[in-house]
Amino acid sequence: MAFVLYGAPLSPFVRKVMYLLAVSKAEYKLKVIVPGSVPDDFVTISPLKRIPVLQDHDFYQADSSIVCNYLIETLDHDDLTQLIPANAQQRAHMRWLEKFADYELAPWLTFVVFRQRVLRKAAGKTPNEERIHEALSVHIPPLLDYLTQQLGSNHYFVDNRLSLADIAITSQMVNFMHGGEHIDKVIWPQLSDYFERMQAMPIWHNLLTREQATLDKIHASIKPKAHD
């Protein structure tokens, strides 16, 4: 049986898993689960009611990092195994940067900017531009400064080779972009170039083309408000 992935493609955590599934050409069915309106029994496979969840036969795992590592270990696909650096220090560094993306970038790039600009609007509510402004002016710049310092003049974050850290970081940047923002080329030129290079990679390109179609539908369904 093919894998079943529970989640929504616009989630940065689901996107991480979809990237790996696409690289390995593994068969899977996507069962769309939208956070906030999950089925009552979803808690049985996702204790925190979060997406993604991956089902492999009767085995379920929640959390993108756990799922990605499971796919890397079980699928035995060269392009996946290469996402894990060969030496222990680099692996630790990669895990740190993946964690940084999931727990430090996500709260601002995704849970504020993307959520306010896309999800709130789709729900017929007005984005809280004050919260967005605070994220953009106070919280996000130090995170991008840190990433700039970590990247240096390299093409990738760890050992200058594509790793799971790049997948996690890029995935959060995608939500930032979907939220109508960009990495300022004047302030963070290396990071801006990095994100452009990542988006040009065929797997990201294909995923993002499909996401754009979903975003276009969301935007088209948003009814303008009287005071908008």
Ligand X SMILES: N[C@@H](CCC(=O)N[C@@H](CS)C(=O)NCC(=O)O)C(=O)O
Binding site for ligand X (CB under 6 A): 11, 13, 35, 49-52, 63-65, 102
Q: What is the DSSP string of 204-223?
A: HHHHHHHHHHHHHHHHHHPP
- Give Cβ neighbours of residue 86 (< 8 Å, ≥ 6 apart): none
Q: Give whichever of 159 and 211 is closer to ligand X, judged by the CB atom.
A: 211
Query: Phi then psi for 56, rounded to 5 degrees?
Result: -120, 100
Smallest separation (angstroms) from ligand X to the CB of 11:
4
Smallest separation (angstroms) from ligand X to the CB of 65:
5
Smallest separation (angstroms) from ligand X to the CB of 51:
4
Sign, CA dihedral 28-31-36-41, equals negative
Smallest separation (angstroms) from ligand X to the CB of 14:
7
Q: Give whichever of 180 and 189 is closer to ligand X, judged by the CB atom.
A: 180
Q: Give whichever of 13 and 194 is closer to ligand X, judged by the CB atom.
A: 13
Q: Give whichever of 24 and 175 is closer to ligand X, judged by the CB atom.
A: 175
Smallest separation (angstroms) from ligand X to the CB of 7:
8
Segment (H or E) for 138:
none
Smallest separation (angstroms) from ligand X to the CB of 123:
14
Q: Give whichever of 35 and 141 is closer to ligand X, judged by the CB atom.
A: 35
Going by their DSSP bridges, the two strands 53-56 and 28-32 should be labelled as unpaired
- Rounded distance, CA 186 to CA 30, Å? 39
- Rounded distance, CA 157 to CA 133, Å? 28
Residue 39 DSSP label:
-
Ranges of H-type helices in 159-222: 164-178, 189-200, 202-221
In one-letter notation, the amino acid at residue 51 is: I
Q: Give whichever of 34 and 187 is closer to ligand X, judged by the CB atom.
A: 34
- Rounded distance, CA 88 to CA 52, Å? 27
